[in-house]
Amino acid sequence: MKGDRGFPVRLRFTKRGRVRFISHRDVARALERAFRVEGLPLAFTEGFAPRPKVSFGLALPTGYESDAEYLDAGLTEEVDLDDLITGVSASLPEGMGVADAVFLEPRAASLQRAVTSVSYVVQAVWSGDDARDPSDVEAWIQNTLRADALPVVVQRKGTEVIEDLRPAILHLSIGSTGVPDETPEGPVREGPIPERHVTEGVTLQLEVSTQPKSIRPTEVLGTLDAGPERPFRAGNGLRVATIVRTAQWIERDGSRLCPLEADTRQRAEVGAR
Amino acid sequence: MNTLWPRIEPLLDRVEKPARYIGMERGMRRPQHDAERVSWLLMYPDTYEVGQPNQGLQILYEILNERPDALAERTFAPWIDLEGELRAHDLPLFSLENHVAASEFDVLAFNLAAELTYTNVLNCIDLAGVPVRAAERGPRDPLVMAGGHCTYNPEPMADFVDAFAIGDGEELAGEITEVIGAWKARGARHREAVLHELATVPGVYVPSMYEVSHEGPFQVLTPRFADVPAMVDKRTVADLGDWPYPKNQLVPLVEVVHDRLNVEIFRGCTRGCRFCQAGMITRPVRERPADQVRTMVEEGLSRTGYDDVSLTSLSSADFSGVDGLVADLVNEQSGCGNVSLSLPSLRVDAFTVGIASEIQKVRRTGLTFAPEAGTWRMRQVINKLITEEDLYAAADAAFAAGWRRLKLYFLTGLPTEMDEDTLGIAELAKNVVEIGRGYTKKASCTASLGGFVPKPHTPFQWFGQNSVEEMARKIGLLRTALRATRADLRWHDPEASFVEGIASRGDRRVGAVIERVWRRGGVFQEWSEHFRLDLWLEAMAEAGLDPDWYVTRHREEGEPLPWDHVSAGLHSDFLWLDWKAALAEHGLPDCRWTPCYDCGVCTDYALEHVVASATPPAGGSQGTGQDLARGGAVPVVISTPGAFGRLSAPDARRTAESSEG
């Protein structure tokens, strides 16, 4: 955390199963409460209404799951990170857990600014008896990727604007069924992964840019081009069942890093400078 | 036990705030259903955000789940979008813990806290797949029960509810469980049998065990069996110290109203505000031992992770020894950093502001007081004995301590209210802003105006409520008076108060009206965007009922009242005398610290006030600035000669002495 004194840490946490229905704001509140239950030595902002120094990365839309959520927190003293992981996880709702934690460079760029792209796995199901061959879907993907521009009308702050989604689509392909149990940074979390109801349909893998702004996977899916139809649009063929964020990426100076690899320290050698 | 979750989950992707329907809060139980146990579905007929913080619901949830013979889950009124999805997919209302169909439970137990939620109750019963009318239910249907403050007049809901539980539920819930458990063990064949047995449990009212007849326009109830009581007395827990609940307050994942740790520090109130039903029906005062409060706060904070705790009651600054308790809590919590403490329902005086300063060392943005009426005369009528000097001293102390925004609660439409009383509200608000301007240019004051709805079991139960037009006129007077001033005015919709008035003092015939409004889509009536006066007026007309007969008509002495068969322990002649004293503009002191005036509750129920400390709160007990501990007197005439005929001779003497002091 920029300009922070003390012991900044970065956590990776997961949000799986039915807890996916809580909002980004609810996630933040649940984590802050878990920190207090664990008695984590949180640093507070100065001023009239002190707030704990916790900053969250890119908001995950309500209803999405994730194995790769991140937050940065300022601590006033060094803690054992393994204890932090176990303790905070135990105080979080079922389906949420801290998977990993690192100490952060004091002047690390914020997650919002540092993260350049995110990966998703989308499980889609055929609506009704409309199941098609996977090769059809492959063709639609190629149609989309071949386009020079994918202009769509999107709602931004209450007004409709036309945006070209094509530059933001970094990867789109049919993947093997299911969500991997590993993230680029290691296992999802200890213990069983919460229920997943979808076992059939089509699995899509997707990476989208988050700079200059994030786009949603559903916006990309809306551009899937089946000739006369858009299969993901209302009532047409495919319906999204689950979306899982599987990774976040920081592209910097030609290298591709996970947030726990960037700007981190092995341990908090010196805190306040 | 069949979970509906796989069928519900896809619907949640399409509704607003889906997290309201997933459960999963810290502290939630996931009880296993089995035939041996009586399964309760605790329901609050409003949204999750409004209902989940209800302390009664949380207390019963724990008490029932601790019993080996019971289990409890929760549900709330689904918002309109989810209701539409459920009906479209032929799915029933479900519980939040196991996502089990509501109809699989033995008991659907509603908390009735506000009359405007009545149509939601019907909607929830219907969504459960259960006939809304009690008479049409069969042996396989759940028993529909209700508790909460509104059940002190159960009649408007008597057609829909099988059994009402009146008063404190801590002991009663267990007794009801035992009756239903035994009936289930016998095969649960005849609904009539269990209802009859429930009617013999003290505190339980079973409408179907009474014959309804009419004396002229008035309803009269007669028990159908010798063992069914003609008068149902409320239940009262004698000592709150025996019931340290909730021990595991649920921590909602979504933001709810009163989103903080709530610790109930006392139940009951003897200030005697005549408009206040809660104060009248929850007597006597039962304070929680201070040590237990401290433990509940400490354990609650460390378990929930909340950084905000509220000490709840009907008038928290009246807790005996409140200053010591607050000082202890502030000192104990200062180590944890940034835990804030709040006392709702603050009394209006400088002493209270002192306590507020003690507990709110940071974030001094807004402070709320409830003078309730604009003139001293009016406040004597309603027995809210706050002088203008009390209010101004409180405002001065608050602004001096750094608060910038004061909110003042008032009622309009009170008995004997004249325009000068109404306009007194504007004067108070304007003067408060002026006091604040002496400290900061940013000083502001908001007067929040509620329309008075007379409630059963209060001295004002005989009073004819103001019409919509009259309330609107008074709001207009204040809007004009406060135009171009630095004080703001907020007000409650008089039309909603009118409908509340229909249900508040309604009889059994009002049930048909509630059903018609519900059938025409009138749900969430307490939400202004869904409120529909036209539906209510139409339904009244179709039922052949005159709204003014229910709402604006003054009741006569001795007139049969629809709630005459329910007792909160208050003698009706006490209430009538207090009504007369109100009209004579006479106040009445707080009987915790002054002699008993025999309202009937303690004597009839063999109860006593339970106080945590023998010292009355500093600053006096009726907000008059009088410190009764130091021998001061309440500066009001206590009664007209002869009005309180029940006052015993020694009490009368002591009263006379103290008023001379």
B33 within 8 A of B104, measured Cβ to Cβ: yes
Give me the numbers of helices (H) and strands (E) for chain B, helices first please. 22, 19
- Percent of chain B scoring above 70 in pLDDT: 91
Cα A22 from chain centroid (whole Å): 14
Would you call A96 helix, strand, or coil by DSSP?
A: strand
Helix, strand, coil shares, percent, chain B, to 5: 40, 15, 45
**Strands of B526-588, DSSP E:** 566-567
Top mean pLDDT of A173-187, B140-154, B319-333, B356-370 is at B140-154
Percent of chain B with pLDDT over 90: 75
Backbone angles phi, psi at A73, to 5 degrees: -135, 140
pLDDT tens column, B168-223: 999 999 999 999 999 999 999 899 999 999 999 999 999 999 999 998 999 999 99
Picking from B276, B344, B217, the residue whose alpha carbon sits closest to that of residue B568 is: B276
**Chain B CB contacts of A88 below 8 Å:** none
pLDDT at A201: 80
Residue B316 pLDDT > 60? yes
B-chain CB neighbours of A44 within 8 Å are 337-338
Sort B267 into a burial class: Cβ within 10 Å, 0-12 / 13-18 / 19+: buried
Q: Are B622 and B271 within 8 A, CB to CB?
A: yes
B566 domain residue, yes or no? no
Of A97-111, A229-243, B13-27, B248-262, give the lowest mean pLDDT range: A229-243
User: Which residue, B233, B248, B272, sits at the end of a domain?
Assistant: B233
The structural domain count of chain B equals 3
Which parts of chain A have pLDDT scores under 70?
1-5, 48, 128-131, 176-182, 186-200, 226-236, 266-273
Cβ contact B289:B297 at 8 Å? no
- Residue B626 clears pLDDT 90, i.e. is over it: no
Q: Is A32 on the interface with B (CB under 8 A)?
A: yes
- B550 pLDDT more than 60: yes
Whether B510 is covered by a domain: the verdict is no
Distances (CA, A) of B112 to B109, B118, B364: 10, 8, 34
CA distance B255 to B258: 9
Phi and psi at B115, nearest 5°, equal: -60, -35
Does a structural domain hold residue B545?
no
Q: Which of B198, B214, B233 is the last residue of a domain?
A: B233
- Pair B340, B477 in one domain: yes
Asked if residue B618 has pLDDT above 90, the reply is: no
Kindly state the helix (H) or strand (E) to which residue B145 belongs, with its residue range: strand B143-147
B308 vs B116: which has the higher pLDDT: B116
User: Do residue B225 and residue B311 come from a single domain?
Assistant: no
Q: At B300, which CATH number?
A: 3.80.30.20
Between A3 and B632, name the one with better pLDDT: A3
Average pLDDT over residues B345-354: 74
Q: Is the pLDDT of residue B635 over 70?
A: no
Do A6 and A77 contact (CB within 8 A), yes or no?
yes
Task: Identify which of A26, A91, A197 has the shortest CB distance to residue B253.
Answer: A26
Of the residues B179, B206, B233, the one at which a domain ends: B233
Identify whether residues B305 and B333 lie together within a single domain: yes
Chain B contact for A81 (CB, 8 A cutoff)? no
Residues of A in contact with B21 (CB under 8 A): 21
Q: What is the CATH number of the domain that holds B100?
A: 3.40.50.280
Fold of A7-114+254-265: Alpha-Beta Plaits (3.30.70)
DSSP string, B294-323: HHHHHHHHHHH--SEEEEESSSGGGSTTHH
Query: Chain A, 129-188: which have a CB under 8 Å from a chain B CB?
Result: none
Report the share of chain A in percent with pLDDT over 90.
51
**Sorting pLDDT into bands at 50, 70 and 90, what band is B654?**
very low
- Region of residue B160 (left: phi > 0; alpha: psi -120 to 50; beta: else): alpha
Range of the domain at B89: 5-233
| Residue B111: inside a domain | yes
Cβ–Cβ below 8 Å for A26 and B9 = no
Min distance A252 CA to chain B CA atoms (Å): 36
Handedness of CA A1, B305, A67, A125 (dihedral sign): negative
At residue B617 the predicted structure's pLDDT band, cuts being 50, 70 and 90, is low
What confidence tier does B652 reach under pLDDT thresholds 50, 70, 90?
very low
Q: Tell me the C-alpha distance between B286 and B267, whole Å.
A: 5
Which of A22, A48, A63 lies closest to B253 in CB terms?
A22
- Supply the pLDDT for residue A272: 38
Length of chain B: 661
C-alpha to C-alpha distances, B396 to A48, A87, B139, B404, B435, nearest whole angstrom:
22, 47, 63, 11, 6
- How does DSSP classify residue B102? G
* Rounded Cα gap, residues A51 and B101, in angstroms: 42
Sign, CA torsion B223/B226/B228/B229: positive
Residue B245, pLDDT score: 97
Q: At what angle do helices B419-437 and B468-482 cross, to 10 degrees?
A: 30
- What pairing do the DSSP bridges indicate for beta strands A96-104 and A202-209? unpaired
Spell out which residues of chain A touch residue B13, defining contact as CB-CB under 8 Å: 63
Mean confidence (pLDDT) of chain B: 90
Write down the number of H helices and E strands in chain A. 5, 14
Same domain, B335 and B296: yes
Q: Search chain B and give the residue with CA nearest A125.
A: B10
Residues 6 or more apart whose CB falls under 8 angstroms from that of B586 comprise B380, B636, B637, B638, B639, B640, B643
Are both B470 and B365 inside the same structural domain? yes
Sign of CA dihedral B137, B138, B142, B147: positive
Cis bond before residue A93 (omega within 30° of 0): no
**Same domain as B170, residue B141:** yes
Q: Say yes or no to pLDDT of B377 above 60.
A: yes
Which helix or strand (DSSP H or E) is residue B579 part of? Answer: helix B572-583
B82 and B166 together in one domain: yes
Rounded mean pLDDT, B487-500: 97
Tell me how close the Cα of B94 comes to any Cα of chain A, in angstroms: 16
Residue B643 confidence (pLDDT) above 50: no
Q: Tokens representing B581? A: 């004293």
b/e per residue B386-416 (b: at least 16 CB within 10 A) = bbbebbbbbbbbbbebebbbbbbbbbbbbbe
pLDDT value, residue A180: 64
Sorting pLDDT into bands at 50, 70 and 90, what band is B228? very high
* Interatomic CA distance for residues B229 and B235, integer angstroms: 14
- Report the residue from B12, B25, B305 with minimal CB separation from A36: B305
Domain boundaries, chain A: 7-114+254-265, 117-252
In A, minimum Cα distance to B301 occurs at: A37
For residues B172 and B309, state if they share a domain. Answer: no
